[in-house]
Amino acid sequence: VSTQSTWDIRINMDRSEEQEGVPKKTFYSLAAGLLVAVVFLVLFIVLYASASSNASANQEQINNQKGLIQDMTKKNQELTYQVANLTTKNADLKSQLAKELSNIAI
């Protein structure tokens, strides 16, 4: 079989494929393109879901931290009040001690 006749056979095969409907090369190209599009769509959905989940978790963590800050602020106010009371009591006790020491000295 000569090279020329081989080319003729290939050309005739290509023409017969085209006559049957969509050429196989075009079909495979479309299928490959569709597969790539589906892969990118799935990847986009997975990344979007992951980002959404992370955002939700971050918001929950922020809310928890806000609650902790409020609790710590309240505790700080209570401790400040207790310190003020103890300072007042300390001053009163010093004053009472000074009076008693002065009574003993007399």
Q: pLDDT tens digits for 34-82?
A: 999 999 999 999 999 999 888 988 999 999 999 999 999 999 999 999 9
Q: What is the pTM of this model?
A: 0.48
The conformational region for residue 2 under phi > 0 = left, psi -120 to 50 = alpha, else beta, is: beta
Kindly state the average pLDDT of the residues 73-101. 95
Q: What share of the chain is helix, strand, coil (3-state, %, to 5)?
A: 95, 0, 5
Q: Cα-flanking dihedrals φ and ψ of residue 2, to 5°?
A: -80, 165
